[in-house]
């Protein structure tokens, strides 16, 4: 079965040009602490399970506040990547699509086709929780991408290339 992958790898000539960053050392103690906190925060639920059957256990969800506290992140937006129709707040936490073009300086990281912006923060693993307020927007997309994703062509849209995905 391993030999089936060799021809595929040989055709990936672009693989050598991908920017690679060293992977951070995983801190399992933090995940263990988070697991301990989840157990503590949901102690009442666990006690109910031990006492007897729980009605509709598949419908029980983790408390949103617990997820926010354990895994919540507020990423900083990268103003150098912001499309000219995206206004970034002074604290770099809010992106607003405008009806007019903003006069940003030219930058190679700036999106020039789609009104989108990326975060300054990078994540290579772990659990992350974000809440997104889309206001009264009729549509919105949020996604993730590799830092190497193009910014200057039709394929630069989140989810429109193999280096990203997007929820609409």
Residues 157, 113 contacting (CB under 8 angstroms)? yes
Segment 38-64, tens digit of pLDDT: 767 667 665 666 666 656 554 445 566
Residues 47, 60 contacting (CB under 8 angstroms)? no
Strands (E), the chain: 86-88, 95-97, 142-145, 164-167
Residues 65, 76 contacting (CB under 8 angstroms)? no
Mean of all residue pLDDT scores within the chain:
77
Range scoring the smallest mean pLDDT among 50-54, 134-138, 150-154: 50-54
- Residue ranges of the domains in the chain? 28-71
Mean pLDDT of 79-104: 93
Structure tokens at 129: 């929780």
pTM of the model: 0.60
């Amino acid at each position: 079965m391993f030999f089936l992958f060799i021809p595929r790898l040989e055709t990936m000539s672009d693989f050598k040009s991908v920017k690679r960053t060293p992977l951070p050392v995983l801190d399992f103690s933090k995940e263990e602490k988070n697991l301990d906190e989840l157990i503590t925060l949901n102690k009442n639920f666990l006690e109910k399970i031990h006492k007897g059957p729980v009605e509709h256990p598949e419908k029980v969800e983790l408390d949103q506040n617990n997820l926010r506290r354990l895994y919540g992140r507020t990423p900083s937006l990268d103003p150098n990547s912001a499309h000219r129709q995206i206004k970034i707040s002074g604290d770099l936490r809010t992106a607003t699509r405008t009806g007019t073009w903003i006069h940003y300086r030219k930058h190679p990281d700036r999106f020039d086709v789609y009104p989108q912006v990326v975060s300054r923060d990078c994540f290579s693993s772990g659990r992350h929780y974000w809440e997104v307020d889309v206001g009264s927007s009729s549509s919105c997309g949020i996604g993730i991408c590799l830092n190497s994703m193009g910014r200057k062509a039709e394929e630069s849209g989140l989810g429109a290339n193999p280096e990203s995905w997007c929820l609409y």
